Structure 1
């Protein structure tokens, strides 16, 4: 019985060994699976050369074209007025911005005018006797002389004798002394040079204002300028009067401007040229940051593509019979995201979007998008 069991186990082991050996031989001869070749789908477009505008991007903040920094030339106490001297207050042209108490100085002006009047009155008898031909004009001048009004100009002196007489009595020097005092008296009141708005106020009613003290800033809110710095390569392209499109940083508001001035010199440190763009709109405020697009010139027989399509060595990928190839191109202008290219023949099929890992000779599957080149 024992021999029978051992014989059965031996037969099973031999059969199992034969099966395992057969399986190993079969697996060894089985062919390895071939990886399926993946063909990438690429966006393409057909080149059509046209005239492309070179647009120069620039940015800057707005500054009022007409602005005045208010300074005091005399000393006095700030008198209250109908309007509060506060930022945001509007004034019409000729309206008083600041009025200082000038009662003491006004009295000295009146005293000087009275002295001039008395001197003129004192010479009238001598004029009547010695210069009867000029007596009437000086009498007429004295008659219209009013202490409460501005001193009128002296009559024209027509002879040498008259000149010696009038000058010798100190009338000319007294007259110009009075005019000087009147001129200084006018500085106790500062009027708006144009219709505008107060943007800065550094004094308040009742405070003592000193000579040379800054009082505030006044601007015309109807017209602004934006200063932009451009590469010196555009110096010959910028023209006064060129139209400019401006927008805010969000790109939601657009404004029309014009190049008003171009600096005649180039900054030696930055090698840039400064241009000033004039813009007018009720929505604008001083200090707003805007972006500008200046039309510099037009490039004929060229196309505009994304910068990431340009390869090192000034080449781009093209598609020929579903295979990628490269051709040489001539870049004409670079912007932040775009590049203007020349020397690409019409009808050339090139990539519209870059392909990761692309190389010359790579097999691709072209796909033409519904948006044609040049559509904005």
Structure 2
């Protein structure tokens, strides 16, 4: 029994001795590391300030919009009959095809009656023309012979004779002619044709409906000519000009880059966002109205400048530099923002900049440069 107690006691003493020895070894290593760090300083990543000419960029996110968009309104009153194709959202039409056709039977009849009356008027004055203005008789007789009440009126014969012109005015020839031409223009408004190749992007009417003057009937959008609409900060807008080339890309489709050209630039600043609209021409079958694109526009060029990451800036306009192996806060002049970076100036060429702010977070800390991995 005594031997057993002795064995247990020996084990406890050995365990205590082992723990004490381990603590001594670890403490010695920590003191050695602390002494080493105190002698060598914090190991940080540095970069050399090498000023050069830097071209700033203006990043933007824009939306693809159609250049050609036509809101369709009725200019007459009538019954909607139909079109060359169903006038429904998503239907494509070629230029010149009938988008909408209203019933124009009554207008056609009124117009034909007016043309017959005009032919009768010319017939009545031809005898007087043959007697008093015989030099013009053949032209007006030929005009009457070619007049067709079912077709548009042809321009009247030219008249250089002042007396003959006054005679025609007294007989209301010109006023009746202008009235009929106005009716012809009105008749054309019963049929609405596609102004370009495109697609119906909204419709608000079905066949058989009564169309009222001024009623919106739908929207027709061109699909060939597209442009990008983007908002640019007003402070940077002065560096952008019509004709500047732009690089854009879209996320979700692919990572390919495309070229665009600034075609228009608004002159009025939005007071709410302090930005203005810029429009860029772009071509590519990959895009559809509504797509969002990201891009860059070349901005102002800065001489004797340098680009640093925003994370190393302290209080917005200071950063740590190295003087005599110690960190020191230095004020710099901010020139422009460039995404995650900032374009700065104001340091002496060759100055070492600490590129790791958190490893040198206090003034006069001893630092040592390490290699970037």
Return the TM-score normalized by structure 2. Answer: 0.82
Equivalence for 1:153: 155
Task: Tell whether 2:311 aligns with 1:311.
Answer: no
1:184-203 aligned within 5 A:
184-203=186-205
Counterpart contact for 1:45–1:368, Cα < 8 Å: no
Q: Which is further off, 133-142 or 54-63?
A: 54-63
The 8 Å contact of residues 45 and 369 in structure 1, kept in 2 or not, is answered as: no
Q: What runs of 5+ residues in structure 1 fail to find an aligned partner? A: 1-29, 371-376
- Find the aligned partners of 2:136 and 2:158 in 1 and give their Cα distance: 10
Counterpart of 2:119 in structure 1 is: 117
1:83 corresponding residue in structure 2? 85
Shift of 1:192: 1.5
Counterpart for residue 135 of structure 1: 137
Work out whether 1:254 is the aligned partner of 2:257: yes
Query: Can you list the C-alpha shifts for 1:29-75, whole angstroms capped at 9, x where unaligned?
Result: x9x86644256542333333222111112233232222111111112
Deviates most, 328-337 or 259-268 = 259-268
Q: Residue in 2 aligned with 1:68?
A: 70
> Which residue is equivalent to 1:242?
244
Structure exhibiting the larger radius of gyration computed from Cα positions: 1
Matches within 5 A, 1:1-376: 35=31, 36-37=33-34, 40-249=42-251, 252-268=255-271, 270-312=273-315, 314-320=317-323, 322-355=325-358, 358-369=361-372
Q: Distance in 1 between matches of 2:226 and 2:358?
A: 46
In the alignment, the residues of structure 1 paired with residue 256 and residue 191 of structure 2 have an alpha-carbon distance, to the nearest angstrom, of: 41
Cα drift, residue 291 of structure 1: 2.6
Cα 1:106–1:353 change in 2 (3 A) is farther
Deviation at 1:346, TM superposition (A): 3.3
Query: Residue deviations 1:184-241, cap 9 Å, x none?
Result: 0000111122222222222223332221111111222222233333333324322111
Measured after TM superposition, the shift of residue 162 of structure 1 is 1.6
Deviation at 1:321, TM superposition (A): 5.9
CA contact (8 A) 2:306 2:344 kept: yes
- TM-score normalised according to structure 1 size: 0.82
Whole-angstrom CA distance in 2 between matches of 1:83 and 1:271: 45
The structure with the largest helix share of the pair is: 2
Tell me whether 265-274 or 142-151 shows the greater mean CA deviation. Answer: 265-274
Distance 1:84 1:313, change over 3 A: closer
For residues 201 and 248 of structure 1, the distance between their equivalents in structure 2, rounded to whole angstroms, comes to 30
Unaligned 5+ segments in structure 2 are: 1-23
Whether the 8 Å contact between 1:75 and 1:211 is mirrored in structure 2 is: yes
Q: Give me the whole-angstrom Cα distance separating, in 1, the residues matched to 2:174 and 2:117.
A: 12
